[in-house]
Structure 1
Amino acid sequence: MVSEAQLRANKKWSDKNKDKQRIYRYRSYARKFVRDLATADDLKELRKMIDEKLNSN
């Protein structure tokens, strides 16, 4: 069971870190997709997108 103080602390952190939470959530979705759902064509498309992103920076 989580204490009231911990719940308040969690809410405070969540409220201050919306962008971090979004990044963590999307990263998790991406990993799940690649690991469990993506087809070979999906992976090829993602590889192309990643390569383009890496080369543009």
Structure 2
Amino acid sequence: MKANRRWKNKNRDKQRNYQYGSYARKFIREIANEKQLNELEILIKERKNLLK
């Protein structure tokens, strides 16, 4: 428990990234409707182009 807390405190950005990714996957798999999925698809394509 202590080690986990220490790791989270040292790696806040990494932890936040893992958490947001987990939320995003859950939203896509279980919650999003077709309209939201289409919007996400567009946003993902735009983001990928920015990262190139």
TM-score of the pair, normalised by structure 1: 0.82
**What percent of counterpart residues are identical?**
49
SS in 2 for 1:42: helix
- What are the equivalent positions in structure 2 for 1:1-57 lying under 5 Å apart? 7-57=1-51
Report the RMSD for the aligned CA atoms in angstroms.
0.8
Q: Deviations over 1:17-49 (max 9, x none)?
A: 111111111100000000000000000000000
Give the partner amino acid of 1:46.
L
Rg larger for: 1
> Which consecutive residues of structure 2, in runs of 5 or more, have no partner in the other structure?
none
> Which consecutive residues of structure 1, in runs of 5 or more, have no partner in the other structure?
1-6
Aligned length: 51
Which contiguous aligned blocks of 4+ residues in structure 1 show a shift greater than 3 angstroms? none
TM-score of the pair, normalised by structure 2: 0.89
